[in-house]
Amino acid sequence: MPIPWIQAASRYQCVSTDLIEILKNAFFKNQDFSKIAPSLDLETASLIVAETLQADLAIKQFYKMSLLGQVNGNVITEESDFVLAAIAELTRVMAEEAQTDNQKEYTNLLATSFALLGKIANSPTASPMLWYEDIFWDLAEAVEPWSPKEALKFLKRGLAHNLRFNNGNNVFNFLQDIADWHIENKEFDRGLQIFTALLREKPGDIWIYNGLAFSCIDNNLEEIGVQAAQRGLELIEVKGDTDNLSSQLKQILKDRSSAKNAVRIKPSVLRDLSTALSLDFNATTSRPLDVLCRELIPDFDSIPVKRPLTYLDLPLPDRNLMLKELLEPLPEPEEISEQTQTTGIAQKRGDKKNKKYKRH
């Protein structure tokens, strides 16, 4: 049965809306979560329900009060990460709609959205509802132009979070991003050392050659970039082009110039990289990922890592009270229009948000 109210959502959400709806219905029917979703442990199921209901209520209050993304105690009584992510999503969508008509409103709303993501990053607990790696990556990209060091911190936090909560399934991508950061910020030796280590670990990974090629080409290390592209194409000849990277690697070679590296790199770094680029594609190492991270990131153990959210942090709400609040009708459009006259939010835009977040 569809939930009869606006439901919160986020691009960082890692739980399907179908599962969320099933769990919410079970909660209001006082059903056993273990029978409804046997693959989930009881605490995780409870946290999903508690966070999403809290976020649903926050979204409803957001509309009702017609706020310009100004999240305060009147909108969010308990700032769980999923609540913040849902409001961040809403303000980002509003920003995108305002972009062509009101640049100032667009800038303010987008800044609000990223400020909320920053609060998520700095909260002590990790929700089972969110892909934090994507949040850390987006924050790194957002702050890079004005604070490169802060961007690196976010990339490291994404790496540490992935290793802690997701068994390191994205560790190589984050290490590659960190290597790319060092190269972009003229720390060439450090960046190339990380790429060298990655090649030693996985010489049959086409994405490492692709990343090294583009990072070097974009940062005046064309000779190395060409070598990486050539080696990547050799790998494709052996294992096939399953990731469809052949054309862009060929484009690098097509656009190559005769320029040599215009920056100074330690001879030992170049020798190690050259050796790694010549490794057999089937060679692998079996070092634990945490050992690799500590080797490549000297301050790895000092990177702040969240702790898991628990039932003690966010217990299930009172069933009857929550249902009453969620089913309370929203104000009529005329009421909302009167309330929004001083905020600059058009009623038409508010209607669009309701449609976006309502389950059909």
pLDDT band at 79 (very low <50, low <70, confident <90, very high): confident
pTM of the model: 0.85
Residue 355 has pLDDT above 60, yes or no: no
- The pLDDT, as a whole number, for residue 68 is 40
Q: Give the residues across from 126 on adjacent strands.
A: 308
* Average pLDDT across the chain, whole number: 86
Q: Bridge-partner residues for 125, per DSSP? A: 307
Spatial distance between the Cα atoms of 19 and 5, rounded to a whole number of angstroms: 16
pLDDT at 260: 60
Specify the pairing of strand 125-126 against strand 307-308.
Answer: parallel
Q: Judge whether residue 74 has pLDDT over 50.
A: no
pLDDT greater than 90 at residue 132: yes
What are φ and ψ of residue 344, in 5° steps? 90, 5
Which of 43-57, 103-117, 195-209, 346-360 is least confident? Answer: 346-360
- CA-CA-CA-CA torsion sign (277, 282, 283, 287): positive
3-state SS, residue 286 = coil
pLDDT tens digits, 176-223: 999 999 999 999 999 999 999 999 999 999 999 999 999 999 998 999
Q: Quick one: pLDDT band at residue 254, thresholds 50, 70, 90?
A: confident
Is residue 56 scored above 70 in pLDDT? yes
Name the strand (E) or helix (H) holding 125: strand 125-126
**Tens of pLDDT, residues 305-346:** 999 999 999 999 999 999 999 998 866 655 434 433 322 222
The conformation of residue 287, written as its DSSP 8-state character, comes to: -
What is the identity of the amino acid at 148?
P
Q: Report whether 309 contacts 52 (CB < 8 A).
A: no
Can you spell out the DSSP letters for 245-265? -HHHHHHHHHT--SPPP-S--
List the helix and strand counts (H, then E) for the chain: 17, 2
- Give the confidence band of 262 by pLDDT, cuts at 50, 70, 90: low
pLDDT band at 175 (very low <50, low <70, confident <90, very high): very high
Greatest CA span in the chain, whole angstroms? Answer: 73
